A = this chain, B = another copy of it.
Amino acid sequence: MTRHLLLLATIVAALPAAAQLPAVHVEGNRFVNEAGETVVFRGVSIADPDKVERDGQWGPALFEEVADWGANVVRLPVHPRAWRARGEEGYLELLDQAVEWAGAAGLYVVIDWHSIGNLRTEVFQHPMYETSKGETARFWRTVSQRYAGNPTVAFYELFNEPTSYNGTLGRLSWHEHRELMEDLIDIVRASDPGTIPLVGGLDWSYDLSGVREDPVRAEGIAYVTHPYPQKRERPWEPKWEETWGFVADTYPLFATELGFMSADGPGAHIPVISDETYGEAIVAFFEARGISWAPWVFDPQWSPQMIQSWDFEPTVQGAFFRDAMRRLND
C-alpha cells in the first residue's frame, strides 16, 4: 500500500480540493484539459455501486486501489433495477460518495446508465436492464442537475448497450437510436453543459458504422464502443477499423467496455473469451488512434473479472490492463 499512499499524497497536493479535477472538454477528436493538453482516459469499470455496497466493499479504499493500478478514470454502471430498488435519494448518496472518493483518488468518473436492449420498444435483455424512455430521461435530468459543474464527473454514458438482440427486442435502427440519444443529450446539456455525453452504437455498443453517414447532431460529444474479442473473428484490426475505429479520425472515442478471460474461468461467456493476444492487439489499436478505454470489470464476481477477490489480487486480464495503465497513463 506504500505506493498507493504516495500516489494519493501527490494527487491531494496537486488539487485545490478533492473533487476539483481539472475540467475536460472535446476539441476535434480529442479530450482536452483546461491547460489545452490532450487527455487519454485509461481506467476501469467497477460493478454497480449498489452491488459493491451490498458486498460490504463500498468505501474510499476501492477507488484508491483503482488509482493505484494506474487508472485515471472509473466507470460507474447504474442498473435501472438497482436505481429503482434503492430509490433516487438512496442511490444518489452512493454516487455522491463515488464522485467524492474518485476525485480524491485523482480519478475522473463516467456515470453509465447500464441498460441493455431496445429503448425504442422498451424491451430489454433481462429484467435488471428494464427501463423506459421516461425513466431514462428522468434519470439523466436528475443526475445532470446533481453533478452540474462538477469536473470530476467528466462523462455521462447515456445508454450502455443498445441492441435489438438479433431482432428479438424489436427493430432498432441507428436513426431511431440516434434520435433517442439526442433527446438525452439535450436534457443533460440543459442542466450541465460541461460534462461530455457518450453515445454507443448498435450491437451492444460495438457498431458505430452509422456514424459515418449520420453522426449524432450535437457538438462536443464522444462515441463509445465495446469491442469484446469475440465480436469479430481474427484478424481483428481491419474489422475494428471499419466498424468503429474510423470514428476516432473525427470524434473522440472511448471504449468504455472491453475485456477477456479464459473459457474455463468463472462466468466465461461469449463474446469475452480470449487471451492476452487480444489485450495486446486492442491496446495497440487504441494507442495508435488516441482512443480512451476502460475494461470490464474491477470486481471478483462479475465477469470478465479484473480481480480475484476483494484483496485485489489481479486476474490475468487484471494484471494485463493494470500494467498497461501504469505504463501509459502519466
Contacts and interface: CB of A to CB of B under 8 A. Distances in A.
B132 A134 contact: yes
A187 B121 contact: yes
A145 interface: yes
Contact of A168 (B167, B168, B169, B187): B187
Nearest to A120: B183
A94 B164 CA distance: 28
Contacts of A166: 190
Interface residues of A, number: 27
A140 to B, nearest CB: 9
A141 B167 contact: no
A84 interface: no
Given A132-B134, A134-B132, A121 B183 contact: yes
Interface string A153-177: 0000000000011111111000000
A232 interface: no
A121 B134 contact: yes
A167 B186 CA distance: 7
Interface in A103-130: 121-124, 130
A257 to B, nearest CB: 24
A133 B137 contact: no
Nearest to A186: B171
A141 B187 CA distance: 30
A290 to B, nearest CB: 32
A326 interface: no
Contact of A123 (B122, B170, B187): B187
A134 B129 CA distance: 13
A123 B138 contact: yes
Contacts of A130: 138
A51 interface: no
8 contacts: A122-B137, A123-B134, A137-B170, A141-B168, A141-B169, A167-B187, A168-B190, A170-B186
Interface of A: 121-124, 130, 132-134, 137-138, 141, 144-145, 164-171, 183, 186-187, 189-191
